[in-house]
Amino acid sequence: MWLDADIQRHLHASGEHFRLQVHLQCTQRRVVLFGPSGAGKSLTLKAIAGLLRPDAGRIVLDGQVLFDAEAGICVPARARRLGYVFQDYALFPHLTVRQNVAFGVQRGWWNARRGNRHAEVEHWLRVLRIDRLGELLPSQISGGQRQRVALARALVTRPRALLLDEPFAALDHDLRAHLRIELQAVLEQAGMPLLLISHDPEDVAVFGEQVLHLLDGRPAAAGERASAPSR
């Protein structure tokens, strides 16, 4: 088991309340967190990445405790060494493709000249076939290319695991199918586990070595999974 995450968080805003109570035990290398919009999938991923602090619980990655409410442990997001791709990719619009990928690898890179190079950055630009786009801004490239840039930025630090928040949701059907194949090849090369959240059965079919179902902030009971894909 590479990830054991017990996460509890109560959120309330504008009179609305949402309670996240999940316990994930990832025993396979490729795991899909599946469920409808509003199920708590993104909140769960953010808690694992260190972008959201749970009210209670414990998160353990490869034997290292990342969060333990009772023990007062909360490893900062950067120190967790997890590659995270946001659903909207969260690229910096004023930075080039190369600078976006390099962000965080080298201190002060965001002020670097466009001609600068970093070996690890160049490696992932080539692997994901975006090396010819290095000097362009995000607004000058396509949605599929932006997805590759976000993936390269997540991989450039050689993370211990890759966390993807509905990475194909904004793409058309044919491009989604193509990029799923590319992601499979990248995962084989990088040799790292994957936790991908989705409400798309195709993602489950391709990446779901293990499928964890969420509904209303908690694991779905067997009888509540009628609309979920079967494997």
Residue 199 falls inside a structural domain = no
Cβ 163 vs Cβ 90: under 8 Å: no
Residue 188 falls inside a structural domain = no
Distance CA 152, CA 155 (A): 5
- Structure confidence at residue 42 (pLDDT): 95
* Range picked from 33-37, 100-104, 170-174 for highest mean pLDDT: 33-37
Distance CA 209, CA 205 (A): 9
Torsion angles phi and psi, residue 171, rounded to 5: -105, 155
Pairing type for strands 210-215 and 218-219 reads antiparallel
- Residue 31's alpha-carbon distances to 13, 72, 215, in angstroms, are 31, 28, 17
CA angle (129 as vertex; 123, 133 as ends), nearest 5: 95
Residue type, 26: C
The domain of 113 spans: 94-158
Residue 5 falls inside a structural domain = no
3-state SS, residue 25: strand
- Structure confidence at residue 116 (pLDDT): 59
- Structure confidence at residue 107 (pLDDT): 52
Cβ 3 vs Cβ 48: under 8 Å: yes
Residue 143 falls inside a structural domain = yes
- Class of residue 84 by CB neighbours under 10 A (exposed 0-12, middle 13-18, buried 19+): buried
Residue 21 falls inside a structural domain = no
Residue 175 falls inside a structural domain = no
- Structure confidence at residue 41 (pLDDT): 96
- Structure confidence at residue 169 (pLDDT): 85
Q: What is the residue whose two structure tokens read 């009772």?
A: 70
Q: Could you tell me the pLDDT band of residue 114, with boundaries at 50, 70 and 90?
A: low
Residue type, 191: G
Residue 153 falls inside a structural domain = yes
Closest listed residue to residue 86, CA positions, set 61, 60, 51, 54: 51
Residue type, 80: R
Q: Please give the model's pTM, rounded to 2 decimal places.
A: 0.88
Residue 115 falls inside a structural domain = yes
Q: How many domains does the chain have?
A: 1
Distance CA 43, CA 11 (A): 10
Cβ 150 vs Cβ 138: under 8 Å: no
- Structure confidence at residue 170 (pLDDT): 80
Instruction: Report how far Cα 106 is from the mean position of its chain's Cα atoms.
Output: 21
